[in-house]
């Protein structure tokens, strides 16, 4: 079995790895590190949670151990799709470079430009950045990238999903292809990703350690098929089901990440959970960076039990002991399901992932099951009876069909569609007619006559704004 000591790493890097408690590299690390140390381009394909970060961090540090960066001219560059993943990569560099005199800069949004510029001006051996913030600094004239010796693109498929591919291509163009070594990592290989690797990588060593988009066998999966009692109650009933699922896990759910498709739902679900006494907090791209950092730190340290997140946290969250993942929504992209549930069951631990699926998400669920090549077991509704109790008085708003909410009197009126009206309503009054059969005399009489007219030839319930052609009787239209 291969050990880190067999990989020809710099002795100071190896010492830091051993102090961190690691002896045996993961398959992606064992495959990528030797090729990277030889100076070759590397194309790494592996699912989330397999140790890709150390797979490029360790050889980079070994290659950069000698030399010194000049002002505004970083010697290496790591591109990450999200602030959280960039911050995690920075932590890995700090851990493994403790015995090396290397400087690093973290360029992410939500942080002062001046603070970042001060670090860049001193010279950064390692520059870790999100594409947008990196280009912001470049356009300000604060960065020169043609001295980059090693360039890493991490989570390339996520870059594609977030629309960063044009930025990535532009950044590649700002570096020197003759002196640049490229390490390219992705969980999946979409056609657009393959096009980029063919364009910018030179005879790369391809390291693929798992079938694309597979879920870890240590994760127990389940899906609850949820059908609301009424459309206007769907949101509150779904939140009630989520709380029941959490309660059913009991003490086994030591902590959990709850994924929502929309940022607005992240805030609503977190607020609802807190209202009912659950220790929960939201995290998504619209929150201030300092708040996101505090929330993540609290979750990592065990001070926060439930993290309600958008897909900004689906990748890059390195919290080894997450016991559960709850998919409040089925993700729109099947690959995101694998990345979400990959937050649990890490490093050989057991984990559990539960998904709530309503009828309109069944097509997305089919795509997930087709991708992972297995049927996800169906779970019983913990509330029983197939439909949850609708007596919840939740502060979060239910979805609206229109901007005007019907009054109680109108709802009561709508419930009595089988009872014909004895008297035609006044002209201009709000009317909510029931569906009528072609031969129904009672429905005709409710409208004031067989041709839709009341006494005196006036049209019932249409209002003064009615177009004149509608007011014509069938005989009039036939004659015309």
- CA separation for the pair 406, 395 (Å, rounded): 19
CA-atom Rg of the chain in angstroms: 30
Residue pair 110/159 in contact (Cβ under 8 Å)? The answer is no
pLDDT over 50 at 129, yes or no: yes
Instruction: Please tell me the least confidently modeled range out of 157-171, 369-383, 402-416.
Output: 402-416
Phi then psi for 104, rounded to 5 degrees?
-140, 150
pLDDT over 70 at 270, yes or no: yes
Phi then psi for 186, rounded to 5 degrees?
-155, 150
Q: What is the pTM of this model?
A: 0.64
Superfamily of chain region 4-208: P-loop containing nucleotide triphosphate hydrolases (3.40.50.300)
Identify each DSSP E strand in 154-289 by its residue range: 181-186, 205-208, 219-225, 256-259, 280-283
pLDDT of residue 310: 87
- Beta-carbon contacts of 164 under 8 Å, excluding residues fewer than 6 positions away, are 81, 131, 132
- CA separation for the pair 458, 445 (Å, rounded): 14
- Can 4-208 and 219-372 be said to share one CATH topology? yes
Phi then psi for 150, rounded to 5 degrees?
-130, 125
Pairing of the two strands 280-283 and 306-309: parallel
pLDDT over 90 at 420, yes or no: no
Residue 404: count of CB within 10 angstroms of its CB: 8
pLDDT over 50 at 124, yes or no: yes
pLDDT over 50 at 450, yes or no: no
Output the average pLDDT for the chain. Answer: 82
The DSSP output letter for 407 is: P
Average pLDDT, integer, range 308-333: 83
Convert the pLDDT of each residue in 346-392 to its tens digit: 767 889 999 999 999 999 999 999 988 899 999 999 987 544 444 44
Nearest to 326 by CA among 309, 312, 302: 309
Convert the pLDDT of each residue in 62-80 to its tens digit: 999 988 888 899 999 999 9
Q: Where are the alpha helices (DSSP H) in 250-305?
A: 263-275, 289-300
Instruction: Please tell me the least confidently modeled range out of 18-22, 204-208, 387-391, 465-469.
Output: 387-391
- CA separation for the pair 309, 255 (Å, rounded): 13
pLDDT over 50 at 439, yes or no: no
- CA separation for the pair 259, 241 (Å, rounded): 15
Nearest to 125 by CA among 89, 95, 100, 108: 100
- Give domain limits for the chain: 4-208, 219-372, 416-479
Q: State CA 297 to chain mean position distance.
A: 19
> Which CA distances in Å does 6 have to 2, 24, 110?
6, 10, 41
Highest average pLDDT, of 35-44, 205-214, 396-405, 418-427, comes from 35-44
| Whether domain 219-372 has CATH 3.40.50.300 | yes
């Amino acid at each position: 079995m291969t050990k880190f000591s067999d990989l020809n790493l710099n002795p100071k890097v190896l010492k830091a790895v051993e102090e961190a408690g690691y002896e045996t590299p993961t398959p992606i690390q064992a495959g990528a590190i030797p090729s990277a140390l030889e100076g070759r381009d590397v194309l790494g394909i592996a699912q989330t949670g397999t140790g890709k970060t150390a797979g490029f961090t360790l050889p980079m540090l070994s290659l950069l151990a000698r030399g010194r960066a000049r002002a505004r001219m970083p010697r290496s560059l790591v591109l990450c799709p999200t602030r959280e993943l960039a911050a995690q990569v920075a932590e890995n560099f700090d851990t493994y470079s403790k015995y090396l005199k290397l400087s690093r800069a973290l360029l992410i949004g939500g942080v002062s430009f001046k603070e970042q510029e001060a670090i860049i001006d001193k010279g950064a051996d390692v520059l870790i950045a999100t594409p947008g913030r990196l280009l912001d600094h470049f356009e300000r004239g604060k960065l020169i990238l043609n001295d980059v010796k090693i360039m890493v693109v991490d989570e390339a498929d996520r870059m594609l999903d977030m629309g960063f591919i044009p930025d990535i291509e532009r950044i590649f163009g700002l570096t020197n292809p003759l002196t640049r070594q490229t390490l390219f990592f992705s969980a999946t290989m979409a056609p657009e990703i393959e096009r980029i690797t063919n364009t910018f990588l030179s005879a790369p060593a391809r390291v693929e350690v798992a079938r694309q988009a597979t879920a870890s066998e240590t994760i127990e999966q389940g899906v609850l098929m949820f059908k609301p009692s009424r459309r206007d109650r769907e949101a509150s009933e779904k939140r009630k089901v989520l709380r029941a699922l959490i309660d059913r896990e009991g003490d086994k759910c030591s902590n959990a990440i709850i994924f929502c498709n929309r940022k607005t739902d992240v805030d609503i679900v977190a607020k609802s959970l807190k209202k009912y006494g659950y220790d929960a907090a939201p995290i998504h791209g619209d929150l201030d960076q300092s708040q996101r950092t505090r929330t993540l730190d609290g979750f990592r340290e065990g001070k926060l039990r439930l993290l309600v997140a958008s897909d900004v946290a689906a990748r890059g969250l390195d919290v080894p002991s997450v016991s559960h993942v709850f998919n409040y929504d089925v993700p729109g992209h099947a690959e995101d399901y694998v990345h979400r549930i990959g937050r649990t069951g890490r490093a050989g631990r057991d984990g559990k992932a539960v998904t709530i699926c309503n009828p309109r998400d069944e097509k997305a669920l089919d795509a997930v099951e087709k991708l992972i090549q297995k049927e996800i077991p169906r779970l019983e509704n913990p509330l029983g009876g197939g439909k949850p109790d609708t007596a919840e008085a939740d502060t979060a708003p239910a979805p609206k069909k229109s901007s005007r909410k019907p009054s109680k009197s109108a709802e009561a009126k709508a419930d009595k569609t089988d009872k014909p009206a004895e008297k035609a309503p006044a002209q201009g009054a709000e009317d909510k007619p029931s569906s009528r059969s072609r031969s129904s005399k009672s429905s005709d009489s409710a409208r004031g006559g067989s041709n839709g007219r009341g006494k005196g030839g006036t049209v019932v319930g249409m209002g003064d704004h009615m177009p004149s052609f509608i007011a014509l009787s069938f005989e009039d239209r036939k004659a015309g």
